[in-house]
Amino acid sequence: REGERERAYQTDRGESIEKTASSQPHQKTQRLYRQAMISAPKLDGRLRAVVDNIEGEVVADIGCDHGKVAVCALAEKRVVKAIACDISSKSLDKAVALAKSYAIEGIEFRCGDGLKPIADGEADCIVIAGMGGKEIMSILSTMPKGIK
């Protein structure tokens, strides 16, 4: 209907998409809104909080599992490069598939234990999420130089 209010939605890329308040928004607007929502994987509250706190140019996601943190950090342009590390090659395969499905570039995948695949000064931010406190402490005890 004429005169209906439009709502602006912020996309993962920071673009503004407008959608009418009616139950049947304009087709072009609806298509743009759907495209914006699929530009990065959907995150639960915990992973959203992790991604929201990433700073720096290069992030190393240790124990990346599915790779959502690294993929989202790049998709949202929070970093220019991501290094996704996991001790499990099966987990890295999932991360590679996720990055390909979102056409994400600028991500390296490395199989290895903890921070061992990361050279001194190679990353200025690390993420260690989704594992127990003792394991995290063990990983942090081998932290390379140059990580904030």
| Helix (H) or strand (E) segment spanning residue 84 | strand 81-86
90 Cβ partners below 8 Å, 6+ apart?
A: none
Percent residues over pLDDT 70 in the chain:
71
Q: Which two tokens stand for residue 37?
A: 């929502």
Residue 83 contacts residue 89 (beta carbons within 8 Å): no
pLDDT at 23: 41
Any idea of the CA torsion for 94, 96, 100, 106, to the nearest 10 degrees? Answer: 140
Query: Does residue 123 surpass a pLDDT of 80?
Result: yes
Dihedral of CA 133/136/141/147: which sign? negative
- Sort strands 81-86 and 58-62 into parallel, antiparallel or unpaired: parallel
Query: Does residue 95 surpass a pLDDT of 80?
Result: yes
CA distance 76 to 147: 21
pLDDT at 2: 45
Percent residues over pLDDT 90 in the chain:
55
